[in-house]
Amino acid sequence: MSTLYMFPPNERPTEDTDTLAGEYVLGVLNPGEAAATRLRADNDPALQLAIGAWQARLVPMVAMLPQPAPPPEIWARLAQDIGMPAEPTSASAPDHAGDQSPEPTSASGPEPASASGPEPVAEPEPEWVGEQPGEPFVEDAWEAVAEPMVIEPQVPVEIEIEAVIYEPERPPAAEPAEAASVAPEPTWADIAEPEPAIQQAAVSPPEPTPAPQSVVTTAFARLTEPSLTEPPTQPRFTAALRLIDSLLFWRAATAASLVLAAAIALFAYINRSPSLVSVAAIGTANAPSPIYLADLDSHASLHITPLAVIAVPSGRDLQLWMLTSNDAQPIPLGILQADGLTVTLPTRPAEGTRFLVTMEPRGGAPSGRITGQVLYGGVLATR
Amino acid sequence: MEDTLEAGDLSALLWLIAAGDHVAFHRLYECQAPRLYAVALRVTADAALATEALHTALLQIWRRNVQFRPQVGTPEGWLVAHVRSRAIDLMRRRHRDGLPPEIFARETDLDAGLARMTASPESARLAAALQTLDTPSREILVLAFLDGMSAGEIAQRLRLPIGTVKSRSHDSLTQLRTALEPAA
């Protein structure tokens, strides 16, 4: 597999731009030149691509270095910082190289699943940002690229859910009129049923609520920004979109309570289509809106609907994959066309199944394994 | 010894990490920490500083202070660039008055380094491309990329005019680009 980054044909940088990018990555520009390059990259996709390509070209040089084992305290500190549960939840996570156990000390304590997101604790602003103009602060260059990757503090989701559920006659704050007109079917009144369950979901962590019969779940991306909630190509999703309108993406590994909240929020909608049993929103982890919606009916027929127009470079295709667990090989499901994809799955995907979208050579990854970059993803939880 | 991942897998890990997946973060650490630590240690020449750099860099990834953008690069390249930047930041802050001898004058065993580059096809390919350069040019690339030295420092170290260092690195990059052009 070639890991060299290939430019889409129409985005190949000029030779000058490319060499500048190389010098930038190599670190031989003087501080002023480096700062100017960084600044220029903010608005120059070709330069961004060239920088990424040079990073990819030069990175194998790292193999020249001897690799002593990193001090175990690095992981010990990180585990504590991130509130890593004492037991790695995956069998594939043995202690690092026989070093001291990576388990966090008791100081971190068990973190409730609902405490989502990186700690809101006053984040020490990385004071060195920009302080060293000579340094290749490469990641800054990515800020301006393509889709908006909004990084926002996480806020309690439950409150928003409550607002939606308990005041059914009031559409979500964003755009009442539109919500009403665009989504004539499932009305808000229809959706209001399962109160008791919801009440608990809003306050309690994973404990199973008397959950409704057929449920569902998921949602990574938040569907808030009205301007970014492109007109769904299929009206039938509109209600679901409105419903999970103010959801922040939930954290895949831990946020059981949020999953449940999302599940219940979607439940009523799903319930109206008896054959429709699961839904997943597929997007980037912290982008404001999903890129695809996936729904699964009781016959294990998966239907993917794009919510936005996605430009794919010529010679490439977007391929859909299913990941049944962290350790499993991703299973290729097919090429996403402009209007989505419908595929019948061999087996019913279980709760926690992830869907990934990667960019691959035209026709899909030839080896049946992911070779390109993962662009989007989403998680399915089915009761 | 190193647990390796395909680019696609690493990309998926970074994606899961951005979504707050602890297990993915731990897996990233297992797979990448040795080489990332090696990068930080080479730049800083100090175990404590390298530890600090790697810790900071990884925590920034977890907290999404920085984010890999799959559209514009490879995950390996991005990860190393990120850790390298943190290491250089810390090294420069520590040594405001110029590089100390343990960095400025340390030996660069190019041959041993090149010999290590046979492990993967990608590194073997780059090693072959580096072999086509003359020794001073190769040394310039290594001092810049791995040691984090500036063009001025490299000039001083190799006793070359700075203009020569710049023109040589410019030429080397052009040569490397051609040599690494995907055969198509």
The predicted pLDDT at position A348 comes to 78
The predicted pLDDT at position B7 comes to 57
Nearest residue of chain A to residue B70 (CA atoms)? A373
Q: Of B71, B12, B180, B67, which Cα lies nearest the Cα of A8?
A: B71
3-state SS assignment for residue B173: helix
The predicted pLDDT at position A277 comes to 60
The predicted pLDDT at position B160 comes to 96
Average pLDDT, 10 consecutive residues per value, chain A (383 residues)? 38 79 96 91 88 95 95 94 64 39 38 38 36 34 31 29 28 38 34 33 35 29 30 34 30 32 38 55 65 78 77 85 80 88 83 85 88 81 51
User: Do residue A373 and residue B71 have CB atoms under 8 angstroms apart?
Assistant: yes
> Is A377 within 8 Å of chain B by CB?
yes
A-chain CB neighbours of B39 within 8 Å are 62, 65
Copy the structure tokens of residue A78: 């990180």
The predicted pLDDT at position B33 comes to 96
The predicted pLDDT at position A330 comes to 86
Return the residue in B9, B71, B137, B160 with the most chain A beta carbons within 10 A, the one to mutate for interface testing.
B71
The predicted pLDDT at position A69 comes to 94
Give B 45-104 residues with CB within 8 A of chain A. 47, 51, 54-56, 58-60, 62-78, 80-82, 84-85, 88-89, 92-93
Give A 330-359 residues with CB within 8 A of chain B. 330, 356, 358-359
The predicted pLDDT at position B139 comes to 95
The predicted pLDDT at position A13 comes to 67
Length of chain B (residues):
184
> Is A366 within 8 Å of chain B by CB?
no
User: Do residue A151 and residue B67 have CB atoms under 8 angstroms apart?
Assistant: yes
pLDDT in tens, B60-104: 999 988 888 877 888 999 999 999 999 999 999 999 888 888 888
A141 to chain B, minimum CA–CA distance in Å? Answer: 10
> Is A24 within 8 Å of chain B by CB?
no
A-chain CB neighbours of B145 within 8 Å are 25-27, 58, 61
The predicted pLDDT at position B140 comes to 96
Q: In what order do the strands lie in the sheet with A301-306?
A: A276-282, A292-297, A301-306, A341-344
The predicted pLDDT at position A185 comes to 36
Q: Which of B58, B125, B169 sits opposite A23 (nearest CB)?
A: B169
DSSP letters, B9-37, are HHHHHHHHHHTT-HHHHHHHHHHHHHHHH
The predicted pLDDT at position B183 comes to 61
Q: Which of B34, B117, B119 sits opposite A69 (nearest CB)?
A: B34
> Is A46 within 8 Å of chain B by CB?
no
A-chain CB neighbours of B117 within 8 Å are 60-61, 63-64
A-chain CB neighbours of B25 within 8 Å are 78, 82, 84
Residue ranges for chain B with pLDDT beneath 70: 1-8, 183-184
Copy the structure tokens of residue A138: 């490469």
Answer yes or no: pTM beyond 0.90. Answer: no
The predicted pLDDT at position A285 comes to 61
Type of residue at A52: G
Give A 51-110 residues with CB within 8 A of chain B. 51-71, 73-75, 77-79, 81-85, 88-90, 92-94, 96-97, 102
CA B85 centroid distance within chain: 9
Strand partners, A305: A293
